[in-house]
Amino acid sequence: MGKEIERKFLVKGDYNEFVTKKTRITQGYLSSVPERTVRVRIKGDKGFLTIKGIGSKSGASRFEWENQIPVSEANELLQICEPGVIDKTRYIVPEAGGLKYEVDEFYGENEGLTVAEIELPAENHPFKKPGWLGEEVTGDVRFYNSMLMKNPFKSW
């Protein structure tokens, strides 16, 4: 069992020259209650089932369990997910000290929204904030993928 510690930011500038990898992601939620989300994801040619617990007071850390599942099973599970599938491309931008930003560019009802997350070994771990990062939205539930499926960015 693991703990996810990450900070989330809006993207205000061009990060494309720093991208080393990109992957299309489709995901849905079997459960999207704040105390526990159960996510089904197809990331490239792999399927995943992820369970996340309620976040810390800061919103930066929470319990996370993830296992790979066959893509055929992920496709079947997506058929019974709550309404509002998330469609996005994830871009990887390496940073100093082995850290990396995951920049998500959303499509469909969330088109126009681009956010960057950096996973950290501890909540107080220092990290570089490149110039293309905008406002920090860590802990702002509107930017959780499980909330974007219920209240898409285009409806704000």
Looking up residue 138, the CATH number of its domain turns out to be 2.40.320.10
**What global pTM score does this model have?**
0.92
15-44 per-position pLDDT tens digit: 999 999 999 999 999 999 988 999 999 999
User: Which range of residues forms the domain containing residue 18?
Assistant: 2-155
Percentages helix, strand, coil for the chain, rounded to the nearest 5?
15, 50, 35
CA pair distance 43, 25, nearest whole angstrom: 5
| Cα 55 → chain centroid | 14
CA pair distance 52, 78, nearest whole angstrom: 17
Calculate Rg over the CA atoms of the chain.
Answer: 15
Domains contained in the chain, number: 1
Q: What is the pLDDT of residue 4?
A: 87
Number of Cβ atoms within 10 Å of the Cβ of 31: 14
CA pair distance 11, 115, nearest whole angstrom: 5
65-101 per-position pLDDT tens digit: 999 999 999 999 999 999 999 999 999 999 988 999 9
- Active-site residue list: 29
